Amino acid sequence: MTLKPWLAISILFFFFISNVIGAFVGINIGTDVTNLPPASDVVALLKARQITHVRLFNADAHMLNALANTSIEVIIGVTNEEVLGIGESPSTAAAWVNRNVAAYMPGTNITAIAVGSEVLTAIPNAAPVLVPAMNYLHKALVASRLNNQVKVSTPQSMDVIAKAFPPSTATFNSSWNSTIFQILQFLRNTNSYYMLNAYPYYEYVHSDGIFPIEYALFQPLSAVKQIVDPNTLFHYVSMFDALVDATYNSIEALNFSDIPVVVTETGWPWAGGSNEPDATKENAETFNNNLIRRVSNDTGPPSQPKIPINTFIYEMFNEDKRPGPISERSWGVFSTNGSDVYTLGLGSSDSISDNSSTAFCVAKPGADENKLQDGINWACGQGRANCSAIQSGKPCYFPDTIQNHASYAYNDYYQRMHSLGGTCDFDGTATMTTQDPSSRTCKFTGSSNSGGGVFPPAAFGPISATSQCSTIRSPVIAYTMVVFLALLILDVNAHFVF
């Protein structure tokens, strides 16, 4: 057939985009936090760590406003308390969309609505209205012409699957078959995706020693510990992959396909009670770093190798208000002052080597905080250092510690004044270093490079191929496609025959 030039360009453009966008690791942001930082500070931390995808458990107005014009992709949540009302009233659903979605777009990049959280197992009485709620919200998005930008789905736990191992025989719990069938039908009809909350930590703890902890932590398994599905002979190198595959096979058992799975929650607690010996910082650091590496492979589980596993880590801050065991309050990867609970990164480093030709004046580790504060006050006042970058919401505010702020203030003063006799002493609280303390977003005066030591290498964001962000696999292919598209645009009279 003959294709109009603009349509051919559109097809080629989307083909191009589908081959250069990448899988991602995002993060959940809970609000049951005693000292939750202001929304502007939370977003500053997201930007500093190059986190490109977040999930909010509600439609918090402060966060949605702060996320405007950042390009960060946002999943917003309908709370479990709201599901019943929305599922019983199309007008309530329309009002919710108008108030919490349409009012913020396009400035805030809302990409999905998560209807409830594990509704089928958390509030079973709401099951009859769950799919109606999803339908009403989708229809409201259609009415607002936002349905192409914003998908609707509902996160479910692994508890809706009767038996997850072996993955090849996994099926949904038969008591939920009718509702889950309707959910899958909705997801297929609206081109949405299945939201899965998958926690290898809980699966490992409840397995009573059947599975080795290395399997839960993405660590290599010895030959005698290999996990193999006896029906498919697929080797599972991690419990995470097996849980995702169990979900795919459960979906297929209801005769659905082409519905991708996105892991909306996973993680590992870094502290626990005496009866939770595996909730440690070491295990949490191992799990999340290996998770990031796993997602960066850009492949799916053994049964769906071409569908990368986009994933959201649970969670940004410790939700210390949550009831239950200690581990329930110990999933955060950042402290509320912006510092890391434990080291988290991709294994690469942008730090500057110690032979840097530029010297920096920084706060001494372990210096008295009162003296450091006096030093900050003097440097930012009488010393005329430019300290705007360490104010709330600015690029060098995080980590929000006296040590970090003092280092920035001391160095700015020193770089401005050392040629005029200024020194790096500050009552014995400062020291010189040749290691550049800059980060990607916080540039110290005198730095000749970006990258470095205030923030670790980015742990989140686009990592490689097939989802919703930005890593080009091949510059040659990208260049060729751009040139080809430009030629198509210029040749407006061209005809294409397929």
Given 73, 265, 315, 319, the catalytic residue: 265
- Enumerate long-range contacts of 434-438, CB under 8 Å, 24 or more apart: 434/354, 434/355, 434/356, 434/357, 434/358, 434/359, 434/360, 435/351, 435/352, 435/353, 435/354, 435/356, 435/360, 436/351, 436/352, 436/356, 436/358, 436/360, 437/360, 437/362, 437/407, 437/411, 438/352
CA–chain centroid gap for 382, Å, is: 42
Annotated catalytic residue, options 73, 118, 285, 319: 118
Take residue 99 and report the two structure tokens written for it.
């108030």
The answer to whether residues 287 and 218 touch, using CB atoms and an 8 Å cutoff, is yes
Environment class of 88 (CB within 10 Å of its CB; exposed 0-12, middle 13-18, buried 19+): middle
| Active-site residue flag, 118 | yes
> For residue 87, how many other CB atoms are within 10 A of its CB?
26
| Tokens 């496609």 belong to residue | 481
265 is an active site residue: yes
Query: What tokens were used for 302?
Result: 């053994």
Q: Which residue has the tokens 């290599």?
A: 220
3-state SS class at 24: strand
Query: Whole-angstrom Cα distance, residue 154 to residue 11?
Result: 31
Active site (catalytic) residues: 118, 265
